[in-house]
Amino acid sequence: MAIYPEQKNLRAQEYSTMQDALKCTGKFIRSHKDLLHKAAQSLKNFKQPEDQVVAWIEGIPLTVGELEFRDGLRKSINPSSDSQVAFNILAEEKILLNEAVKRNVIPTSKEINEFLAKEKEEYGSNPDYRSDVDLLIKEWGISEAEYWEDYEWYNAFRIIMIDKLYENVIKEAATTGLLPKEDNVENSDISSATAVQQKQKAKESYWNRFKLELKRRAKVRVNKDLPSLQELKLDPEKWYLS
């Protein structure tokens, strides 16, 4: 089961079990059942009605429905959560999506279907996995079809997009000499395990710098016809997305 960044930290909260955490998020989802579908649709169609768009991030729309969905999930877990955090997380996803579009590495239907097929295979063969999925479906009050076609699809698109963009950026950096090529990092004085760690740290450092620079340069146009959201601002000096 792919999970949202907001849910990765559930066990670090005051909840004793995953069921307790899902009950909290479930209360929100049950009373806002349309938002999950709207979030998925925002990635299936980049052409959204203007009155449904909070802001355009480098031309990529951030919809009201997606922001309300993600912000609501965060606040159901942590009521004191600031909407600015949800806005910055989503803005960062759109910044990366815009870069993926430029580099022609957005997820294909085939890639998403293969991802979902693996998840469904795991669901059929792993009782613990199946139990977690069934629990989410129950607590959120959604159908099995909604789980796979909206929730898992939404996650699959975002996960694949970021993975493909990361690989493309790192490959480009190695080709242009900004990162050492794989066969040039050998060092007889250090263990192979240490060499692997050093290479990975170098990649992560470059990737983090690359993302923050994209955010600093990003052009954001907030929808002025939605005055209730005018206070949302992009923080160019911090990366919020985990």
Is 125 strand, coil or helix? helix
Burial 107-136 (b: 16+ CB within 10 A, else e): beeebbeebbeebeeebeeeeeeeebbebb
Q: Which tens digit of pLDDT belongs to each residue from 198-238?
A: 999 999 999 999 999 999 999 999 998 887 766 888 999 99
Say how many Å lie between the first and final Cα of the chain, rounded.
18
At 116, list the tokens.
Answer: 């979902």
Q: Which two tokens stand for residue 10?
A: 């559930």
**Which CATH fold would you assign to the domain 5-229?**
Triger factor/SurA peptide-binding fold (1.10.4030)
pLDDT, one tens digit per residue, over 148-198 is 999 999 999 999 999 999 999 999 999 999 998 776 545 545 568 888 899
Average pLDDT, the chain: 89
Q: What are the sequence ranges of the domains in the chain?
A: 5-229
The predicted-structure confidence for 153-166, as pLDDT tens digits, reads as follows 999 999 999 999 99
**Could you give the CA distance from residue 8 to residue 159 in angstroms, rounded to a whole number?**
14
Question: Are residues 35 and 9 in contact, defined by beta-carbon separation less than 8 angstroms?
Answer: no
